[in-house]
Amino acid sequence: MPWSFRYALLMNSTLVERDVLERVLREAMGHGGDFAEVFVEDRSTSSATLDQRRVEELSSGRDRGAGVRVVVGDTTGFAHTADLSERGLLRAAQAAASVARGGGGVRAVALDTLVERRTRVATMPGDVDKARKIELLVHADDVARSTGAAISQVQVALGDSTRRFVVANSEGVYAADHQVRTRFNISCIATGDTGMQTGYRPIAGTRGFEMLSPEAVGEAASGAARQAITKLDARPAPSGDLPVVLAGGSGGILFHEACGHGLEADAILKRSSVYAGRLGQQVASPLVTLVDDGTVEGEWGYLALDDEGRPGSRNVLIENGVLTDYMWDHLRARKEGRVSSGNGRRQSYQHLPMVRMTNTYLLEGDADAEEIIAQTPRGVYVAQLGGGQVNTATGDFVFGMTAAFMIENGRITTPLRDCNLIGNGPDVLQRVDAVASDFSMTPGTCGKDGQSVPVGTGQATMRLTGVTIGGAA
């Protein structure tokens, strides 16, 4: 069967018939519900891992089911089922609707014309032979080990997911999407006189297998290996308040965690965010424009439709340092009399949607990255940030720096051992005093309230006038 015909057939196949969805919604609303929604999902995944030249994992899976939620006032009832028959869906609707206590009678629900989207893909991951995937992993291993004799351990993994969903609700929304995501990552360990050091590189996108060319995989492998080898000469990081230069793409996670979560509407409405009630106020340096953008096609956090059937959108949150908006899902936007910003996301059909980021980034400036470094007499250059923690109520954060260097006399010099970056989100936003034009994005996974979703973060090289370094020197 030709690929184009096969793909069209896959897209046009119906997870649940329209008339069944309407009957399920009618049942969900029949006990006094204010709002009801059915989310049906079919997800296929595969993964392969090569560890120390041995295939440790080669797996695939499939998960299908539906979640039904019913809202009555401020109370939400939710039930999910793996039974996609009409009987199974009706039972889930009845369970979710059991939160209603006021009666209200049966309401007719008529769905709008189906809005259908799909990821543009040249090569579906599921069409790629497993042997070809293993060859790619072996190629990455070979490149990493050939980078230097100090490389003692290499682990390579790739995975992909194909996710189809249909969402329908009592307001007439009827939408479907077909999302394809592909990811590759490599971890290397270098061993020397000072012990062991690690290096890591990911490749990820809302794209097909075509993104994993041997050249792209080889570049990531050599980058991870070089990072591990370079860190063998690392010295303890200084401690105290120092200027910090964040490399392009590397610091986006800092702003995602330290600022982005505090701009999600659930935190705002609960008054648990330091940004609550500050619309129109100057909250950052005039050099800072922060955007959450689900429309960046191909990026890891891209979505044509969110998990409530709303189109992904570009939302400017902070413009020239002024707080302009928050991120909204449908229910919280509905409560405030406004429209969703396309930020309603869920991990799977077994989870309720909530306000989540997509691709969150700071717009580039017009400075030169090398000049920013040259104009910094002493500081720390962060090439890669690791994981971190943030308190959204205060904005206080702690992040690990997995690749950092000293800046001395305007030059990048000695590599530093892993250390921490400690600060406060609103304070850091005020300390941005230079932004370059070398914008780039980094893929990541965002965890919130027990759910994980793919996100992108990004920024150009930028300088913070002072941040606390939790070093050992």
pLDDT of residue 103: 54
Which position has the higher pLDDT, 103 or 467? Answer: 467
pLDDT band at 395 (very low <50, low <70, confident <90, very high): confident
Mean pLDDT for the chain overall: 92
pLDDT of residue 98: 87
Q: Check if the beta carbon of residue 251 is closer than 8 Å to that of residue 397.
A: no
Residue 195 has pLDDT above 60, yes or no: yes
Give the integer Cα–Cα distance in Å for 220 and 200. Answer: 8
Reported as type and span, the H/E element at residue 4 is helix 3-12
Tokens representing residue 257 in the block: 């965690």
Q: Check if the beta carbon of residue 471 is closer than 8 Å to that of residue 236.
A: yes
The CA distances from residue 106 to 30, 79, 112, 171, in Å, are: 4, 20, 19, 15
H helical segments located in 193-241: 214-230
pLDDT band at 325 (very low <50, low <70, confident <90, very high): very high
Mean pLDDT of 373-392: 91
Residues in the chain: 473
pLDDT of residue 131: 94
Residue 363 has pLDDT above 80, yes or no: yes
Give the least confident one: 50-59, 392-401, 430-439: 392-401
Question: Quick one: CA dihedral 268, 274, 278, 283, positive or negative?
Answer: negative
Which of 180, 169, 171 minimizes the C-alpha distance to 40? 169
- Name residue 382's amino acid: V
Residue 376 has pLDDT above 90, yes or no: yes
Give the integer Cα–Cα distance in Å for 186 and 199. Answer: 8
Terminal CA-CA length for the chain: 64
Q: How far is CA 436 from the centre of its chain?
A: 24
Question: What 3-state DSSP class applies to 437?
Answer: coil
Which of 308, 312, 305 minimizes the C-alpha distance to 291? 312
pLDDT digits (tens, 9 = 90+) for 431-443: 999 999 999 999 9
Assign 3-class secondary structure to 159-196.
EEEEEEEEEEECCCCEEEEEEEEEEEEEEEEEEECCEE
Mean pLDDT of 44-69: 95
Residue 306 has pLDDT above 90, yes or no: yes
Mean pLDDT of 192-210: 94
Mean pLDDT of 29-42: 92
Domains of the chain with CATH codes: 3-233 (3.30.2290.10), 240-470 (no CATH)
Mean pLDDT of 235-263: 92
pLDDT band at 109 (very low <50, low <70, confident <90, very high): confident
Mean pLDDT of 63-76: 94
pLDDT of residue 456: 97
pLDDT of residue 1: 32
pLDDT band at 12 (very low <50, low <70, confident <90, very high): very low
Q: Check if the beta carbon of residue 66 is closer than 8 Å to that of residue 89.
A: yes
Which of 263, 254, 360 minimizes the C-alpha distance to 314? 360
Assign 3-class secondary structure to 58-71.
EEEEEEEEEEEEEE
Give the least confident one: 50-59, 96-105, 331-340, 418-427: 96-105
pLDDT of residue 104: 54
pLDDT of residue 3: 32
pLDDT of residue 102: 53
pLDDT of residue 101: 61
Tokens representing residue 236 in the block: 């303890």
pLDDT digits (tens, 9 = 90+) for 118-152: 999 999 998 999 999 999 999 999 999 999 999 99
